[in-house]
Structure 1
Amino acid sequence: MSDSHDNLTEKQRRQTDSSNENLPYQPEEVDYHDEKDVFDEEHGHAAEKRTRFYRTKRFWIRCIVILVIVLAIFIPVLIVVILPKLVQSIVSHSVMSMSQLNMTDATETSMKVSLTGGISNAGIFPATIDFPEPIIVSWEGHQLGSMSMSSVKASGGKASIVDATSFTIIDKDAFADFAEKMMSIEDFTWTLTSKVQVKAVGRTFKDVNLSKELKMLGMNGFGKVTIDSFTMPGDAPNNTGAYVRLVTSMNNPSPIGMVLGTMVLDMFYEGTYLGQVTAKDAVLVGNSPSPLILEGLLFRQTNQADLDRVSVLMSNFLAGKVTMTTAKGVSVLPDGVNSVSWLSRGLLALTLNVPLQTPTPLNVIRDISIKDMSMVFNPATPFAPTASSNLVTAGFKLPFDITVSMQNVSNVMSIVYKDKVLGDIDAAVWNEALSDVPNGLIVFSLPPSPLIVKEDAQEEFSQFVADLTVNPEQLFTVKGFANAVSTTPVGTVKLTGIPFNSDVTMKGLDFNAIDAAVTNVVVTGGTVDHIVMNQTVALPNPSTLSVSGGGALLTVYDKVTDQYLGELSIPELNIVPGANPTATQFLFHPKNETLRDQFLSEYLTGAVFPLKVVGSKDSTPIVEMQTAMSQVSLSSSAPGLSPPPNLVTSGTAVSGLGTLVGNRQTVTTVNMINPLATDLFISGQVTHVSWNGNFFGTIDAKYEQTVPANGEAATPELILQHPAGLDFGLFLTTQFVVSYPLMALGGAMVPFDLDVKMDVRVGGPNGYPATINYKQTQEILTKMSLF
């Protein structure tokens, strides 16, 4: 039965759905009684129909009655109990802050204050807070004072405080304690208490308790005091010291600002009492640096320990270094006349740490000029020459308008060339100095001091020496630290470590432009390898630079042909400003024999021989000077003997009948001198003899003879071979003999022209070989014999 019923129901449902497909759309009817129970699922039969309780009128009437009763009770409770407690809670949980609190017109019992601050976490309702009672300010359990405040309006949970009021001191001792601590501690906490009145949500809530802890930064000893300027405007009268003026900036991290008025401070450095300064119209601004102009007097010091500390203080300032001084309060006069005990107590307990330092580099020493400079090189100490100067001038500008006189100076100096530090000069010896303060000039000397060349700058230093040697002028830089003993109004102080940095232009030796004139040439010897000539060579130095560096060996060339002649040896190179006549030796040994003979022959006849003198790295054992020597190429000239001597001083020629008709030979002997300062060994000669322009004959002889140094000797008998032929005989009989009839009666002095080519060795038999070509006119005693 149940299955049939289910199937029938399904069949009927399909028929109903099918029939509904052909009908237009109709809204579904809602049976609002379907909320009633119409079927009892538990017992499987229809249940009794009933209405839910919350849809009955009785239910809603009861609810309304209950609501009226609750509201009648809650609203009075809300107004009388809850809202006041809520307001109190909001006030208690709000946060007060202070960004500025400036104190002015301070007296023993009161002051004026201006406030800038705010309140946060002040609730969501707009409100007005009134302060019908003064606010009591307490610190560490002590009531400091009280102050009134104007109304504050809060909105959106925030309120701004901008007010000007008065502060009445309740406990002067406690307030003095607070003022003393506030100036030195990092932070502090005030407790503010009062009764306030709050207007909000249309009601006024009175007697709301205000108790706030207001945390603020202390002045922390003004830890970041800076010096904007430090000057000494002049000398104090009666030799009592020097006036001083400091422009400082005292950083105040606290929101509390003060009008201090006239403030007096004592200045100290490491226990030495320096002097006293005063600031007028002093104001400490909260949360910002406060400029103060301190003016006063630095006392004259007489104790050496105090002078030493003052020396360090002034030296550090001039060098741009920080020196920590201290300032201790003496008094504070807000109105410039009367002191306030609690404010003075706070200042007297304060010790300011004042870092004395110039804000910008002072460049005290400038425009250094080295009027003369000497460098002495020593092969035993390479790259450590000795430097000195007799005259150094420097401009200086002190930031003080006081009387200063430099007595002694010393310095540590570095030489910088082409941006490279070459080496250091430590002039540890104190030297007397002269100072011209009005013109800003100091004059001193540089004592002989080692110039220590840095290992990584040796090549650059060698080039620096070379440039000074061959250039007309050279620019370089000197920098370092100077020390000076100075008399000042505060005493005689030793200023140390004053930095300087100055370009210096110095005239160079300009070696390659000079003409090294040679004088006093003397041939003093000869070996098989060379002739030794002693001479004086002028090495003019137009600069103020002096260079000394042991011996040097330069190469000499003939300037015309550029052929090698030998070496110029300078036993001791010492170049100072001026002409520098220098004793040298010329080792003459040219490779070209023709040039050799020409040079020696022209020397004997007084001719001037142009030369070129060239250096090389091998010219000196001084390593610092090798680069300089390799760049040296100077002109010179070697003069001959002056006046040129006649080598043949006299002679005898004896002719006979054979001279006319026989072998045509004349026996001749001549007397010769040796103008050299060494033996001259003669191994033979070829001499062409002429008379009055007519060829007279030739002497071609091989013999050995030594003419001593600066001495003379007669040659062996030499044969003058006359020309053959009738013409010479006719010449003798018709011109020569006729011109000198006395020849037959004892002899006549006949002038002959001699063209000599003589083989010699300069220095003796083992000397330097050469051939002398020599021309001379000499009167020779000539005799004619008929037998």
Structure 2
Amino acid sequence: MSSHSNEHLTEKHDTTSHDSISDADLPYAPEEVDYIDEKEPWEEYDHEAEKRVRFYQTKRFWIRCVIILIVILAIFIPLLLLVILPKVVQSIVNGSHMTMSQLNMTDATETGMKVSLTGGIGNAGIFPATIVFPEPIVVNWEGKQLGSMLMSSVKASGGKASIVDETTFTIIDKDAFTDFAKQMLSIESFVWTLNSKVEVKAMGRTIKNINLTKNLNMLGMNGFSAVTINSFTMPGDAPNNGGAYVELITSMNNPSPIGMVLGTMVLDMFFNGTYLGQVTATDAVLVGGSPSPLTLKGTLFRQTNQTDLDNVGVLMSNFLAGKVTMTSAKGVSVKPDGVNAVSWLSNGLMALTLNVPLQSPTPLNVIRDISIKDMGMVFNNATPYIPTASSNTVTAGFKLPFNITIGMQNVSNTMSIVYGGKTLGDITAAVWSAANSNIPDGLIVFSLPPSPLVVQEDAHAEFDQFVADLTVKQEQTFIVTGLANAISSTPMGTITLTGIPFNSSVTMAGLNFNAINAAVTNVVVSGGNSDYIIMNQLVNLPNPSNLSVTGGSVLLTVYDKVTDQFLGELSIPSLKVVPGANPTPTQFLFHPTNATLRDQFLSEYLIGSNFPLKVVGSSDSTSIVELQQAMSEVVIASTAPGLNPPPNLVTGGTAVSTLSTLFGDRQTTTTVQMINPLATDLLVTGQVTQVSWEGNFFGTINAVYQQTVPANGAVTSPDLILQHPSGLDFGIFLTTKFVPTYPLIALGGAMVPFDLDVLMSVLVGGPNGYPATISYKQQQQIMTKMTIL
């Protein structure tokens, strides 16, 4: 190389020595420096562009970062694994929450029990993990250690985990656990605190010695506040007069997630301070969080104290009536294996007072099919719409839900009558009545003593129609509802059952007045005045029903059935209709508006004929307001009989003829003996009598006079003139036929039978009596004689 080149190298070397920079201190190799320093002038522009490269785009920056990262990781990873991660896991465990949906206890002993768990863990972190319980979990309650249990590992994913496990719970503090058992059965809720050490396996690591402290909020059994009775029966009598067997099927609602196998459980039953008896459940199981069926069997003891008997009566009455009765049960013992009692469980149960609402799950309808064999109603003006009702025989079917010996000794009741869908009134039995009961046939027979029937204010019209329908119709159906009371002999003692409801339809035969024929007997014309004739008689009112009605005086209107014309009024001084014929004393006030009908009636009465009648009522027939509607619907058929046997009003007479009878005025002086068959005086004011002999007209008596014939008496009339027919024919008849037939007429007289056709004007009742004309026919032998004078 030239010397110039050597100088250049020497200069280069000197420069390097002058700067005193080692190769190690340079970011680039020396060769690169020589290349840069020895750039040509035309490369100046490229050198300036290279100086504008960013620092993080250089290799030096990234080499330094890698070195720093390696240093940091070397320090942080042990720190993370050994210090930070356990704290994070502990924080996650602390922030998680635990629930228990089911905890069932079985095989209880004095030291522990088996438990099966169902629950969950929430808020358990975002990473999948396995929680391991290497140590028992200690269960604390109110600062006391109750017991401990081992748990199987739990896998968490997505922040939650499920707990399903079976383990053994070991009691640590028996006294504390006994106190807890007492409280758990009674309180609404409690808190368990769980303590333990756990291991968490996550991200390939196992973090040990993590503290687990969890408050577990649990529902208590709350005294089984929603106990229901599904069935309550008494299968039979206990032996040796010891009471009655009892069987209850209950539903024990357990709101707590804790379930128990109780085995044999014994309870004492109480009501209102009365010790009722003892019941036992076998194979009893309480299911957590749901109702549990429980069958209790035992004995209701026989009571001797009256207070206790009264309480049993109330209990039984309420049950039969469908009412709720709050009874109570106190625990006696619990034997999970059926033999050995567990003290903490028995003590817990004995501290519990179980409230049991005793009520039939379905209406019992104990009393049914009521039959009123007879019924009486007495109406009184002094107490309108409060008649007196009674019955000698009421039969009721009954069905008790018990198979025990029971007898009804006395009964009373409050009864409402419902008709046409409306409650008419109430009958409250005034006194207890004796009863006979036939338990096998389910019948009870009793009477209803005279008791007020109080008609409701808004049911007066409906009650009136009810009475009317019973009066005029063949039968009627109505409903009786109410409450019955009974003094009953039972295996628990003689108790009073009260307020037993009943509801039954009753069909009763009605009086059916509009279909009867009221026969009239014993007619006696007892008086008369200017307004009417008074006839006393018995009117039979046949009553085919067992209904009795008493209702004061009644005035009915009487019509001739054939012509429908008015005859008078029928007065019933005291209406009383009982089952049967009912011969009722009445008065017939006879005063027809039609004179012809008047005379016809009296004439037919005297000759023994029957006269058809129609007896009609109206709202004015009675002053008893409850009977006015009934009377307005009454139409009774009847028949008025005549005198039987019919009497001869003329019992005898005399007829004295003279020659003038034949040759002069043809008159015969006549007298008659007549009787009065009536029980009242009869004033005769005149008569027109047609006299015939063997079909031959013999003459006429046409006389006006006044003569009183006393009641049921007899008189001889004054001299009456028999006017014979004029003309030759009658003379020939006398001389050729009549006298030859009775030749003794001229020799002293002979008894001659004459036919009499009488129209007699009378005043029935005497001088101030009722006027009438009697039409009367009879044949009568009259002493007939002829004298010369």
Structure 2 matches for 1:401-412, cutoff 5 A?
401-412=403-414
User: Which amino acid in structure 2 is aligned with residue 755 of structure 1?
Assistant: D
Identify which of 72, 83, 86 aligns with 1:84.
86
Distance in 2, Cα, partners of 1:686 & 1:404: 84
- Contact kept, 8 Å, 2:551 with 2:576, in 1: the verdict is yes
Identity %: 76
Partner of 1:547: 549
> What is the CA-CA distance between 1:84 and the residue it aligns to?
2.3
- Contact kept, 8 Å, 2:430 with 2:450, in 1: the verdict is no
Partner of 1:108: 110
User: Which amino acid in structure 2 is aligned with residue 396 of structure 1?
Assistant: F
User: Which amino acid in structure 1 is aligned with residue 670 of structure 2?
Assistant: T
Structure 2 matches for 1:164-563, cutoff 5 A?
164-563=166-565
Distance in 2, Cα, partners of 1:140 & 1:677: 110
- Contact kept, 8 Å, 2:395 with 2:445, in 1: the verdict is yes
Identify which of 638, 655, 658 aligns with 1:636.
638
Distance in 2, Cα, partners of 1:748 & 1:175: 138
Q: Which moves more between the two structures, 547-556 or 193-202?
A: 193-202
Q: Deviations over 1:215-246 (max 9, x none)?
A: 00011111111111111111111112221111
> What is the CA-CA distance between 1:51 and the residue it aligns to?
4.8
Partner of 1:595: 597
Distance in 2, Cα, partners of 1:715 & 1:662: 25
Residue 655 (1) aligns with residue 657 (2): yes
Please list every run of 5 or more consecutive structure 1 residues that lacks an aligned counterpart in the other structure: 1-47
Partner of 1:13: none
User: Which amino acid in structure 2 is aligned with residue 95 of structure 1?
Assistant: H
Partner of 1:4: none
- Describe the SS at the equivalent of 2:316: helix
Q: Deviations over 1:618-670 (max 9, x none)?
A: 11111111111111111110110111111111111122222212112222111
Distance in 1, Cα, partners of 2:448 & 2:56: 120
- Contact kept, 8 Å, 1:53 with 1:59, in 2: the verdict is no
- Contact kept, 8 Å, 2:683 with 2:766, in 1: the verdict is yes
- Describe the SS at the equivalent of 1:197: strand
Partner of 1:158: 160
> What is the CA-CA distance between 1:90 and the residue it aligns to?
1.3
Q: Deviations over 1:567-620 (max 9, x none)?
A: 111111111111111111101111111111100100011100011111111111
- Describe the SS at the equivalent of 2:180: helix
Partner of 1:57: 58
> What is the CA-CA distance between 1:383 and the residue it aligns to?
0.8
> What is the CA-CA distance between 1:82 and the residue it aligns to?
2.8
> What is the CA-CA distance between 1:57 and the residue it aligns to?
3.2
> What is the CA-CA distance between 1:155 and the residue it aligns to?
1.6
Distance in 2, Cα, partners of 1:175 & 1:686: 127
Distance in 2, Cα, partners of 1:301 & 1:719: 102
Please list every run of 5 or more consecutive structure 2 residues that lacks an aligned counterpart in the other structure: 1-47
Identify which of 143, 146, 154 aligns with 1:144.
146
Distance in 2, Cα, partners of 1:74 & 1:489: 88
- Describe the SS at the equivalent of 2:431: strand
> What is the CA-CA distance between 1:55 and the residue it aligns to?
7.3
Identify which of 606, 610, 613 aligns with 2:615.
613
Partner of 1:40: none
> What is the CA-CA distance between 1:66 and the residue it aligns to?
5.1
Partner of 2:695: 693
Distance in 2, Cα, partners of 1:159 & 1:582: 98
Structure 2 matches for 1:741-756, cutoff 5 A?
741-756=743-758
Distance in 1, Cα, partners of 2:304 & 2:70: 99
> What is the CA-CA distance between 1:785 and the residue it aligns to?
2.1
Q: Which moves more between the two structures, 244-253 or 194-203?
A: 194-203
Partner of 1:760: 762
Distance in 2, Cα, partners of 1:776 & 1:52: 173
Distance in 1, Cα, partners of 2:366 & 2:352: 35
Summarize the Cα distance change of 1:55–1:237 in structure 2 as closer, same or farther, 3 Å threshold.
closer
- Contact kept, 8 Å, 2:412 with 2:433, in 1: the verdict is yes
Query: How many residue pairs are counted as aligned between the two chains?
Result: 740
> What is the CA-CA distance between 1:58 and the residue it aligns to?
7.4
Summarize the Cα distance change of 1:713–1:144 in structure 2 as closer, same or farther, 3 Å threshold.
same
Distance in 1, Cα, partners of 2:182 & 2:690: 122
Across the aligned residues of Structure 1 and Structure 2, the Cα RMSD in angstroms comes to: 1.7
Distance in 1, Cα, partners of 2:445 & 2:639: 42
- Contact kept, 8 Å, 1:412 with 1:428, in 2: the verdict is no
Partner of 1:131: 133
- Describe the SS at the equivalent of 1:627: helix
Distance in 1, Cα, partners of 2:212 & 2:428: 74
Q: Deviations over 1:728-760 (max 9, x none)?
A: 222222112222221122222111111111111
Distance in 2, Cα, partners of 1:482 & 1:657: 97
- Describe the SS at the equivalent of 1:123: coil
> What is the CA-CA distance between 1:314 and the residue it aligns to?
1.4
- Contact kept, 8 Å, 2:617 with 2:632, in 1: the verdict is yes
Q: Which TM-score applies when normalising by structure 1?
A: 0.92
User: Which amino acid in structure 1 is aligned with residue 157 of structure 2?
Assistant: S
Distance in 2, Cα, partners of 1:53 & 1:618: 132
Distance in 2, Cα, partners of 1:634 & 1:173: 92
Distance in 2, Cα, partners of 1:429 & 1:758: 64
Distance in 2, Cα, partners of 1:585 & 1:201: 121
Q: Which TM-score applies when normalising by structure 2?
A: 0.91
Distance in 1, Cα, partners of 2:586 & 2:528: 16
Distance in 2, Cα, partners of 1:397 & 1:603: 61
Q: Which moves more between the two structures, 157-166 or 48-57?
A: 48-57
> What is the CA-CA distance between 1:260 and the residue it aligns to?
0.8
- Describe the SS at the equivalent of 1:596: helix
Q: Which moves more between the two structures, 66-75 or 394-403?
A: 66-75
> What is the CA-CA distance between 1:53 and the residue it aligns to?
5.2
Distance in 2, Cα, partners of 1:243 & 1:565: 75
Structure 2 matches for 1:68-83, cutoff 5 A?
69-83=71-85
> What is the CA-CA distance between 1:76 and the residue it aligns to?
3.9
Summarize the Cα distance change of 1:363–1:527 in structure 2 as closer, same or farther, 3 Å threshold.
same
User: Which amino acid in structure 2 is aligned with residue 103 of structure 1?
Assistant: M
- Describe the SS at the equivalent of 1:620: coil
Distance in 1, Cα, partners of 2:521 & 2:504: 42
Distance in 2, Cα, partners of 1:782 & 1:205: 161
Q: Deviations over 1:663-708 (max 9, x none)?
A: 1222211121111111111111111111111111111121122111
Identify which of 760, 780, 784 aligns with 2:786.
784
- Describe the SS at the equivalent of 2:323: coil
> What is the CA-CA distance between 1:116 and the residue it aligns to?
0.6
Partner of 2:98: 96
- Describe the SS at the equivalent of 1:249: strand
Q: Deviations over 1:170-209 (max 9, x none)?
A: 1111111111111111111001111111122332222221
Structure 2 matches for 1:706-785, cutoff 5 A?
706-785=708-787
- Describe the SS at the equivalent of 2:118: strand
User: Which amino acid in structure 2 is aligned with residue 105 of structure 1?
Assistant: D
Distance in 1, Cα, partners of 2:60 & 2:648: 167
Distance in 1, Cα, partners of 2:699 & 2:55: 176
User: Which amino acid in structure 1 is aligned with residue 562 of structure 2?
Assistant: V
